[in-house]
Amino acid sequence: MKLEPFEQEGKVGFKDDCKIIIPAIYESASYFHDGHAVVRLNGLSGVIDSKGKIVIPNQYDDITHLFEKYFCIRINVGADWNCGIIDIDGNSIIEPSYKVICGKDKRYFLCYKTAQSKAKDLDKYPQGEAYEYENLGNCVWCNLEGKVLTSLEVVNSFASLVVKNEKGKLGVINQNGKLIVDFIYDTVEPCTNDVFAVSVITEKGTSYSVINSNGNTILPSKNEAYEFSRRAATERAMAKRYKQLGKKQLAKDYTQYAKEAQARADTRIIRYK
């Protein structure tokens, strides 16, 4: 069953082909994602399941479904507002204390402390969120438990975060917020969850190596495995990009290329050890 929103007498409901499944009683409604849709009733937002059962009551000024079981809620306070994160069971993950919260890679929440907001015209956009935002600033990265990981600039998000400090040097923070690679590198490229291709730039030139999550050198500069690891990281990025563009076959091909390159790198890493 594929539920699609429809309008009737200025209200929104859901139907499967020509059969009405959920009557048109809502002022606005999102599309269904992961079995749930955001609906607006009496000026407040909530969440229903595919049977029309209310799973999150209509008590928020806005709700955005980020991914899987996570939702961003908005609570207006006079002319101001705050956003937080709850799950489908109504459990609070992040207390309403930010201006905008977005999902990232289904691993992180990007929480912005500053933003500008304006209400949408729900007569024109009945399937959208009630508000839109711009000029987002002062980003804080949190994990799926709501723990603050960093407010530094993130240059690469993988299973860990590659971050830049105030001196322009790169380090790595894991999903528990622990610094696992110190801020001494000029480039850091994740190869696997705990292996990184790094470089240091000096007046004499650039030195390359592959390190583990303890900061120990696994492979010395200019090693063949480093090139394979770099290639694997690049092809994983291409696969992710094609997946976002909906080009499934290209995404599948590049995922396989990355696996093959990483397997060759892993073989050489083991041999070096």
143-178 in b/e form (b: 16+ CB < 10 A) is: bbeeeebbebebebbbebbbbbeeeeebbbbbbeee
pLDDT of the residue at 138: 97
The confidence score (pLDDT) of residue 271 equals 47
How far is residue 80's CA from residue 64's CA, in Å, rounded to a whole number?
18
pLDDT value, residue 197: 85
pLDDT in tens, 141-189: 999 999 999 999 999 998 899 999 999 999 999 999 999 999 999 999 8
Which pLDDT belongs to residue 272? 46
Q: What is the pLDDT of residue 229?
A: 64
For residue 193, the number of C-alpha atoms closer than 13 Å in the C-beta half-sphere is 3
Residues of the chain with pLDDT under 50: 222, 270-273
Distance CA 147, CA 143 (A): 5
